[in-house]
Amino acid sequence: MKRATISMRELQQNLKKVIERVERGETVELTRRRQVIARLVPVVQTRPAAPWPDLEARARAVFGDRIITPSPSAQLIEDRGERW
């Protein structure tokens, strides 16, 4: 694993480039007045990210084929009345 040392000023001026280096697997040490104050290391994924839930399937499981009337947005507009 590569290791680089950069100053806080360089980080402020080139943040995007530094983050890209870290994403590629490089470790970056941050210095202030030539003293190391922080270390940026890439995150090691321990498990794959959970997939997004199928909200449409869940709604079908809860409500079945029923159609909600009036629609929630129409009900909200009606409830607001003149306040909208």
pLDDT of residue 84: 54
In 10 A of CB 28, how many CB atoms? 20
Cα–Cα distance, 6 to 36 (Å, whole number) = 9
The class (CATH top level) of 3-40 is alpha beta
End-to-end CA distance of the chain: 59
Q: Which residue has the higher pLDDT, 57 or 17?
A: 17
The whole model's pTM is what? 0.52
pLDDT of residue 52: 84
Query: 37 is written with which tokens?
Result: 């104050």
Mind spelling out the 3-state secondary structure of 39-65?
EECCCCCCCCCCCCCCHHHHHHHHHCC
The confidence band for 83, taking pLDDT boundaries of 50, 70 and 90, is: confident
Domain residue spans of the chain: 3-40
Q: What is the pLDDT of residues 23-79, one digit of tens each?
A: 999 999 999 999 999 999 999 878 887 888 888 888 888 888 877 777 888 888 888
